């Protein structure tokens, strides 16, 4: 998660709101959801970030017992929120 934040310069809330369908590993792009101030935006990632996401997908599949569409899941299989554990401490 941190590597993706640093490599794409997206905000924490944008990262946590990502779904699987927002990531395109063929074109190495991430589509951010529109907000009140910004429309759809597309971010580009390098090959290293795409490699890390491919590895995460394998781990994520084992965690996703609830069939959640969130890109990042907790060990319980729920979407990670901004107030969860280490992520809340390290990023704000």
Could you tell me the CATH number of the domain that includes residue 39? 1.10.443.10
Poorest-pLDDT segment among 28-32, 67-71, 87-91: 87-91
Q: What is the pTM of this model?
A: 0.78
Give the residue ranges of DSSP H helices in 1-92: 2-8, 12-16, 47-63, 85-91
Q: Which domain holds residue 46?
A: 2-91
Counting the structural domains of the chain, the total is 1
pLDDT score for 46: 95
The per-residue pLDDT for 35 is 75
Q: Judging by beta carbons within 10 Å of its beta carbon (0-12, 13-18, 19+), is residue 4 exposed, middle or buried?
A: buried
pLDDT confidence bin for 89, thresholds 50/70/90: very low
Q: What is the pLDDT of residues 10-50, one digit of tens each?
A: 988 899 999 999 999 999 999 998 877 777 789 999 999 99
């Amino acid at each position: 998660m941190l590597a993706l934040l640093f490599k794409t310069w997206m905000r924490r809330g944008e990262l946590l709101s990502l779904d699987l369908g927002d990531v395109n590993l063929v074109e190495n792009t991430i589509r951010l959801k529109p907000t009140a101030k910004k429309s759809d935006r597309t971010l580009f990632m390098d090959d290293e970030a795409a490699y890390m996401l491919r590895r995460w997908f394998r781990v994520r599949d084992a965690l996703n017992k609830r069939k959640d569409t969130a890109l990042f899941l907790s060990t319980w299989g729920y979407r990670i929120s901004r107030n969860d554990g280490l992520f809340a401490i390290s990023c704000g």
